[in-house]
Amino acid sequence: MKFQIATVAGLLMAGQAIAAPAPSAPLQTRDGKTAAQIVAEIAPDSKTCASSTECRTADQAGPLLADAMVKYGVYSAGQIAGIIALTAFESVNYKYSHNVSPGRPGQGTSNMQMFNYNLMYAQSISALKGKVSGVDANAADAKKNEVLALVNTDEYNFGSGPWFFTTQCTKDVQSALAKGDDAGFSAYMGCVGVSVTDERKAYWTRAKAAFGLA
């Protein structure tokens, strides 16, 4: 079942985490926007795709991202906004699921994770962990790309962002991002290991607007 992103109507406020809804209940923004509409607002260039087999439009990525947020228990508007802002930037508006420049082996997914995290991600998925048994950080480049191929399918590609956030960022960072402010986003970028550049901030600014956090 596909879900719409965000929170129970009327409760989408900065810094307010929302309890998980019943599995059968759709997630909605207070404005009734769908996941696809939100992604399109944050990443305008995702409305259409070029002839890349990796590219996914907002219509395709939105429901997959929404499902992934539910799977990893991410319900705070600030957290969802931050994760979408990051993944949209890293994947160039969901056009790529592998590192194009400089072309690091094993780096990819919508979160554009380095190989070591993609290996950890694969190991965390019951359907994949047997396929990466015995693989470690010293794997050959070809093996690294094999691991990436396992996790950058539609089934797992859009779960990498919420997986990383919920497993690799500290509770302090998670709480900070839940506030939906610039300090929280900066803390999140620190967890990722990057700084808040003007380009990243542009995605975050659109994300805040899309979720009513601005």
Give the pLDDT of residue 78.
96
pLDDT tier at 7 (50, 70, 90 boundaries)?
very low
Q: Is pLDDT of 15 > 70?
A: no
End-to-end C-alpha distance for the chain, whole angstroms: 30
Give the pLDDT of residue 31.
66
- Facing residues of 98 across strands? 108
Q: If you average pLDDT over residues 185-192, what whole number do you get?
A: 98
Cα angle 56, 60, 63; round to 5: 135
Whole-angstrom distance, CA of residue 42 vs CA of residue 179: 18
Give the pLDDT of residue 183.
98
CA distances to 9, 110, 141 from 87, rounded to whole Å, are 25, 5, 24
Counting residues of the chain whose pLDDT is more than 70, the rounded percentage is: 85
Q: If you average pLDDT over residues 5-14, what whole number do you get?
A: 33
Give the 3-state DSSP-derived string for 160-179, with helices as H, strands as E and coil as C.
HHHHHHHHHCCHHHHHHHHC
pLDDT digits (tens, 9 = 90+) for 64-110: 999 999 999 999 999 999 999 999 999 999 999 998 888 899 999 99
Q: Worst-scoring range by mean pLDDT, 5-9, 131-135, 156-160? A: 5-9
Give the pLDDT of residue 158.
97
The Cβ of residue 47 has, within 10 Å, a number of other Cβ atoms equal to: 13
DSSP state of 159: T
pLDDT tier at 214 (50, 70, 90 boundaries)?
low
Whole-angstrom distance, CA of residue 89 vs CA of residue 98: 13
Give the pLDDT of residue 51.
66
Give the pLDDT of residue 50.
78
Question: Contacts from 21-28 at CB under 8 Å and sequence distance 24+?
Answer: 27/3, 27/66, 27/69, 27/70, 27/75, 28/4
pLDDT digits (tens, 9 = 90+) for 106-148: 999 999 999 999 999 999 999 999 999 999 999 999 999 999 9
- Facing residues of 113 across strands? 108
Contact (CB, 8 A) for 47 and 149: no
CB neighbour list of residue 65: distance below 8 Å, 6 or more residues apart = 5, 35, 39, 83, 84, 87, 158, 161
Whole-angstrom distance, CA of residue 111 vs CA of residue 162: 9
Mean pLDDT of the chain: 87
